Structure 1
Amino acid sequence: MRDEEYRLLWEEEERHWWHAGKRQIVRGQVLKFLAGRSTNQGKVRLLDVGCGDGALLRELGCLVEAEGIDCHLPLVERARAGGLRVCHGDACRLPYDNATFFDLVLLLDVLEHLDDDRLGLMEAGRVLRPGGMVLVSVPAHPWLYGSHDRALGHRRRYTPQSLFRTAGGAGLSVEFMSYTNFFIFPAAALVRMKERSQSGGAVRGCLPPFWGKFIAGFYRVESWWLKRWSIPIGLSLLVRLSKEAFL
């Protein structure tokens, strides 16, 4: 990803409706996971792989014992400056051994950047304790791949079938899969299809930021819905994965 695009992401991550909406959906999934645990299991340990500058870690820190890892040193330094526990490292070579179990591992918009996405999932499974959960989000619909994806350094977009195969190849079981970003999908799809014939450009949300408060209501509905049911179509895919034994 280009330096200019990192700068834009840093500026927007805290306030932009896209990032805020994603955090709301993830928070709902974490709360669902916590509700299913018995009270005597202790504090939940969470690892956010590809945590960026730690906006999500700050939000989840009151719920779980959270730490992160990211391959981009400027983002790691920014997160550390904010007092977060973040290390510099590679999603395909996590600096934790098999005895360092996490109850939750997040891979949010990470797999599409990896040359070997199966290895990235295997690493997440390796540090996950039995009974834990890997939560993954990825961009959906390969037919939408275009300049926006290239600018962000995406190798691919996913279908439910391709994501299911990748998870299975990594030794993980799919517990739940759904599309997300349902409400913005029609407008976003039109923009992305137009971008397919254009070269890169600054990374921005596909709808104007001043729509933020209006769109936030959509994400509240979506977060509530995803705690109970799946969504049949959307711009992204969300999947909950588990493992039954050590990898």
Structure 2
Amino acid sequence: MDLKETDILGDGIAQHWYYRSKAAAMIRMLDGYVATSLLDVGAGSGFFSHHLLTHSSASRAWCVDISYDADSDATTAGKPVHYRRAIDSVDADLVLLMDVLEHVDDDVGLLKTYVDKVPVGSRFLITVPAFQFLWSGHDDFLEHKRRYTLKHLESVVRDAGLHVRQGAYYFGLVFPLAAGLRLLPKGAQPSPPRSQLKRHHPLVNSLLNTLCTLERPFMRANRVAGLTVFCLAEKR
């Protein structure tokens, strides 16, 4: 989770429909893959690696983010978590880049850097925001460089030297609603840079979470549309 948005949700992150559903989709995309060591690149608060440590047999995690004030160590579910501003080679067998590549000018170069840091056989799970036409002040607030199509992300992944195992869109059922809101006429003024993440009424939060729950069993077959692009890849 981006550190710029941590204060918005506070301790309600795990209950928010977006992060709750995205964490569950992450498990779905891994399709039973059992990881021992995690490398969470651009980890921010470390939400996704914490979720895997709590809900899987993964035994440790390295969370890397240049935004950290200093290196530190902690535990989640009794398992070690190492927060680092940078990292050399590491024996991680699952690398997470959850909404990271859209923040850098050279997405292939950044991904290749971490491909070179882990052993052959390591899996990579990558997410990015979908479709450039959905650009809004939310992207400006988070300092994004671009949004992606599924084919674009898969091309980046291959160019970095990885083998694509699975690619899919997610948040497909809420896509029409979100697209409609973002494409409403706004007059001459562009959308101001601000986060669109917010706490919802429990009923709204539950409804959106239900839509995502209904979608998840079929998400791996969705190559049409969604708000997020997922890609599972492997270093061979």
Which TM-score band (shorter chain)? 0.7 to 0.9
Query: In the alignment, which residue of structure 1 is the partner of 2:39?
Result: 47
C-alpha distance 4-224 of structure 1, shift in aligned 2 (>3 A): closer
Query: Which residue does 2:183 correspond to in 1?
Result: 193
Deviations 1:135-160 (A, max 9, x none): 10100111111211101111110122
Matching residue within 111, 126, 134 for 2:124: 134
Q: Which residue pairs with 2:170 in the alignment?
A: 180
State the shift of 1:120 in Å. Answer: 1.9
> Partner of 2:141 in structure 1?
151
In 1, Cα distance between the equivalents of 2:19 and 2:70? 16
Residue 66 (1) aligns with residue 75 (2): no
Per-residue deviation, 1:72: 2.0
The two structures, once aligned, show a CA RMSD in angstroms of 2.9
Identity %: 26
Counterpart amino acid of residue 141 in structure 2: A
Cα distance in 1 for partners of 2:152, 2:24 equals 26
Superposed, 1:16-165 pairs within 5 Å as 16-34=16-34, 44-62=36-54, 63=56, 64-67=58-61, 68-73=63-68, 80=74, 85-89=81-85, 94-97=86-89, 100-165=90-155
* Residue aligning to 2:229: 237
1:204 corresponds to 2:197: yes
Q: CA offsets, 1:23-71, max 9 Å, x none?
A: 111122335223xxxxxxxx62121212222332332114212312222
The residue that corresponds to 1:7 in the other structure is 7
Q: Which moved more, 1:200-209 or 1:59-68?
A: 200-209
Distance 1:18 1:76 in 2: 29
Give, as a single letter, the amino acid of the residue that structure 2 aligns with 1:51: A
Cα separation, partners in 2 of 1:12 and 1:157, compared to 1, 3 Å: farther
What is the SS of the residue equivalent to 1:14?
helix
Q: Is the 8 A contact 1:16 1:209 kept in 2?
A: no
